[in-house]
Homo-oligomer: A and B are copies of this chain.
C-alpha cells in the first residue's frame, strides 16, 4: 500500500510523499524505510523522536520537518487500522487435509480450510470461510458461523453454537461440562450438565481458556466480547456484548457480566454475582457470591469495593503508625494530668 492509500483509509491528513510503498509496520525505534509507525505523544514530549520509518502516523500538532506523516486524531487506532490492511494475509487454501476426519453428515460451507488431524463429528455445521487449524475438534451437532477461526487444538463440543467470525485460540475449550455437584451422604454425584453454550459474533477466546456448557440452560457470551488466555467461564454465565476479560480471570457459575465491562487479569467472581455495564474491575479483584457491583465505576480488591474506597482503606493503614504514636503520647499526657 502507498502512503496515500493509507492516509485515505484512516481518513488522515497526508503530509509529504503520497507514493511511498509501505510493506509493514513497526515501532518508531525499529521501523525502517518500508515501515509505517505511529507516535503516541507522551506528556512533555514536544518533538517526534528520530526514526527511520517511511511514514509515521502522528497527532495533528506534529510538524512535518520534511518527513512523510499522516496526521490523525487517534494515531494508535489509525495505525492499527492501517496495519490490519497492510498485513492482511491471504486466507489459507480452502479444502480438507486428507488426515482430517470429517463426518459425512457434517455440513461444511464454501471456502472452508480444514487442517491436518482435525476432527468434525456428525451433524456439525461449519460456516463458509472458516479456518480450522490442526488438531481442532468440532463435536457432533455444533454450529460455527461464517469466518470462524479455530486455532490448533481448539475444541468445540457438540452443545455449542458460535456466531460469525468467532476466534478460538490454541487449546481453547468451549462446551466442557460444568462443575455441578450434589453431595450424597458421603460423596459427590454430578448434577447433570445438559445445557449448551451460545457465543455471539466477533467473540475471541484466548489460548487454553475454558467455557463450560450450562447445567440446564445455556452459557452465553455476547457479540464482540474478548477473553484473553487461561480464562475460566463457569456454567450458566451470562456475559454481555463487548466485554473484555484479561488473562486468568475466573467466573464461577451463573455470573452475569453486562455490556462493556472490563475485568483485569486474575480477577475472580463468585457464583451468581453480577457485574454491571461498563464496570472496570482491577486485576486480582474478587467479587463474592451473589454480590453486585455497578453499573459503571472502577472497583478493586477482595471483596471488590469502589476503587476510591479501596485506596482510602490502604491509606488508613499507612497512617496507623502515626496514630499509634499519638495515642501513646496522649496516654502519657493524660497520666501526667491525672497525677497533677
Contacts and interface: CB of A to CB of B under 8 A. Distances in A.
A117 B119 contact: yes
A268 B266 CA distance: 7
A195 to B, nearest CB: 9
Interface residues of A, number: 96
Contact of A327 (B84, B283, B323): B323
Most central of A24, A265, A270 by chain B CB within 10 Å = A265
A69 B326 CA distance: 62
Nearest to A218: B30
A191 B80 contact: yes
A324 B326 CA distance: 10
Interface stretch (A1-9, A59-67, A243-251): A243-251
A190 interface: yes
B327 A320 contact: no
A137 B313 CA distance: 49
Interface string A298-335: 00001000000000010011011101101100110110
A189 B189 CA distance: 43
A246 B179 contact: yes
A323 B134 CA distance: 64
A276 interface: no
Interface stretch (A12-20, A44-52, A202-210): A202-210
A82 B250 CA distance: 30
Nearest to A117: B117
A143 B188 CA distance: 24
A231 B166 CA distance: 24
A191 B40 CA distance: 14
A298 to B, nearest CB: 13
A157 B246 CA distance: 21
A76 B215 CA distance: 12
Contacts of A190: 80, 84
Contact of A83 (B194, B246, B327): B194
A124 interface: no
Interface string A210-229: 10100011000000101011
30 contacts: A76-B182, A77-B182, A81-B182, A87-B194, A101-B116, A117-B117, A134-B137, A155-B171, A169-B176, A169-B177, A179-B229, A179-B246, A179-B247, A187-B224, A188-B226, A188-B242, A208-B208, A210-B229, A232-B247, A232-B248, A234-B247, A248-B268, A250-B266, A252-B283, A319-B324, A320-B320, A323-B324, A323-B327, A327-B330, A337-B337
Interface of A: 24-27, 30, 76-77, 80-81, 83-84, 87, 97, 99, 101, 115-117, 119, 133-135, 137, 139, 151-153, 155, 157, 169-171, 173, 176-177, 179-184, 186-192, 194, 202, 206-208, 210, 212, 216-217, 224, 226, 228-230, 232, 234, 242, 244, 246-248, 250, 252, 265-266, 268, 270, 283-284, 286, 288, 302, 313, 316-317, 319-321, 323-324, 326-327, 330-331, 333-334, 337-338
